[in-house]
Amino acid sequence: MKLGTLTAALGDLPLDEACGFLAGNGVQMVEIGCGGFPGTAHCDAVELLADQGKRREFLDTVHRHGLEISALSSHGNMVHPDKAVAKKFDRDLTNAILLAEELGVPVVNTFSGCPGGSPEDKTPNWVTCPWPDDFSRILEYQWNEVLIPYWKEKAAFAAAHGVHKIALELHPGFCVYNTRTLLKLREAVGPEIGANLDPSHLFWQGMDPLAVIRELGGDAIFHVHAKDASIDPWNTAVNGTLDTLSYAEMSKRSWIFRSIGYGHDEMFWKNFVSQLRLAGYDYVLSIEHEDAMMSTNEGLVKACDVLNRAITFEDMADMSKLHWV
């Protein structure tokens, strides 16, 4: 298994400096945004697709620091009911897939997206309960008429371009937000759909990331984000976990994102790594820094410190060659 980082948190630095900083902290792989919400600070897919020389220079910059690219990321809402918004996010994802083909990157990370509640809607409608019956009808429309058809077409496009792993982050606000919805879409679309497993979003939903790993299995986990979350027991007891307060109102929120080790201790992360290995996943843990309580540099350094101890980097032992007393 390898330690990685989503470079978007270092978007104010040139790629070369960002890679140098990360490599100096033990990072082995980088996840690079090339469109959508992660932006294009380190990778403009349109520009690189148009120029082979720039693609070569881009790869040289990453490889010069002994790094590999774990995934290209283009998170967005490609099924947004506003056609102009959906078109932009879809174009970004399409370019990410095409660039992944050119660069030999095996994984593209994104969101499932969330449609409106009907063809007439202008904004997304995330449903959290089945009743009144209006909500159940919305879910039928979203899944059967929008989500599944979109992802069948996009997965086929990706496969035709040599990208067989579209990793969806289980993220509330989008149709795929938990284990059941990820597996539902994977069953409907095919094996090109899998998880970019981010435990921070599981924590605040009341899910156990270790149980989620066991349920998904290694075949359905394509990429893993290393991000922590802290649950405020008082605010949660009063208001529950469906929290729409601004992320800036940290003391009032039911939960906040934290750097690795500041929401759950090092032993949790060792168990997390072990469960991933038992499930057959042995790729990357990619740090996504979104902790507003510390600077980006300090947050990344502290996260790397914990994960450099928690990750088992070498291959698993061959039990047949062990000598038993």
Q: What is the pLDDT of residues 4-25, one digit of tens each?
A: 999 999 999 999 999 999 999 9
What is the predicted pLDDT for the residue at 317?
82
Q: Does the pLDDT at position 99 exceed 70? A: yes
Q: Does the pLDDT at position 142 exceed 70? A: yes
What is the predicted pLDDT for the residue at 318?
80
Q: Does the pLDDT at position 312 exceed 90? A: yes
In 3D space, the residue among 137, 112, 138 whose CA is nearest the CA of residue 125 turns out to be 138
- Residue 73 phi/psi, 5-degree rounding, is -120, 130
For the segment 265-275, the average pLDDT, to the nearest whole number, is 98
Is residue 325 assigned to a domain? no
Is residue 217 assigned to a domain? yes
Q: Which residues contact 72 (CB under 8 A, 6 or more apart)?
A: 31, 32, 33, 34, 43, 45, 96, 99, 100, 103, 105, 107, 108, 109
Is residue 322 assigned to a domain? no
pLDDT band of 316, cuts 50, 70, 90: confident
Give 318 or 276, the one with higher predicted confidence: 276
pLDDT band of 301, cuts 50, 70, 90: very high
Q: Does the pLDDT at position 33 exceed 90? A: yes
Q: Does the pLDDT at position 3 exceed 90? A: yes
pLDDT band of 324, cuts 50, 70, 90: low
Is residue 323 assigned to a domain? no
Distance, CA of 231 to CA of 264 (rounded, Å): 10
Other residues' Cβ atoms within 10 Å of the Cβ of residue 181:
17
- CB-based burial label for 120 (10 Å; 0-12, 13-18, 19+): exposed
Q: What is the mean pLDDT of the chain?
A: 97
pLDDT in tens, 39-90: 999 999 999 999 999 999 999 999 999 999 999 999 999 999 999 999 999 9
For the segment 208-218, the average pLDDT, to the nearest whole number, is 97
Q: Does the pLDDT at position 252 exceed 80? A: yes
Give the structural domain span for 153: 2-317
CA distance to 19, 53, 221, per residue, from 60 (Å): 11, 10, 29
Is residue 324 assigned to a domain? no
Is residue 41 assigned to a domain? yes
Burial readout 128-162 (b: 16 or more C-beta within 10 A, e: otherwise): eeeeeeeeeebbebbbeebbbebbbebbebbbeee
What is the predicted pLDDT for the residue at 90?
98
Is residue 310 assigned to a domain? yes
CATH number of the domain within which 117 lies: 3.20.20.150
| Number of domains forming the structure of the chain | 1
Q: What is the distance in angstroms between the CA of the first residue and the CA of the last residue of the chain?
A: 29
Amino acid at 324: W
- Residue 269 phi/psi, 5-degree rounding, is -70, -30
pLDDT band of 319, cuts 50, 70, 90: confident
Q: Which two tokens stand for residue 53?
A: 């020389």
pLDDT band of 325, cuts 50, 70, 90: low
For the segment 218-225, the average pLDDT, to the nearest whole number, is 97
For the segment 198-214, the average pLDDT, to the nearest whole number, is 98
Q: Which residues contact 38 (CB under 8 A, 6 or more apart)?
A: 6, 8, 73, 74, 75
Distance, CA of 8 to CA of 53 (rounded, Å): 23
> Do 176 and 188 contact (CB within 8 A), yes or no?
no
pLDDT band of 323, cuts 50, 70, 90: low
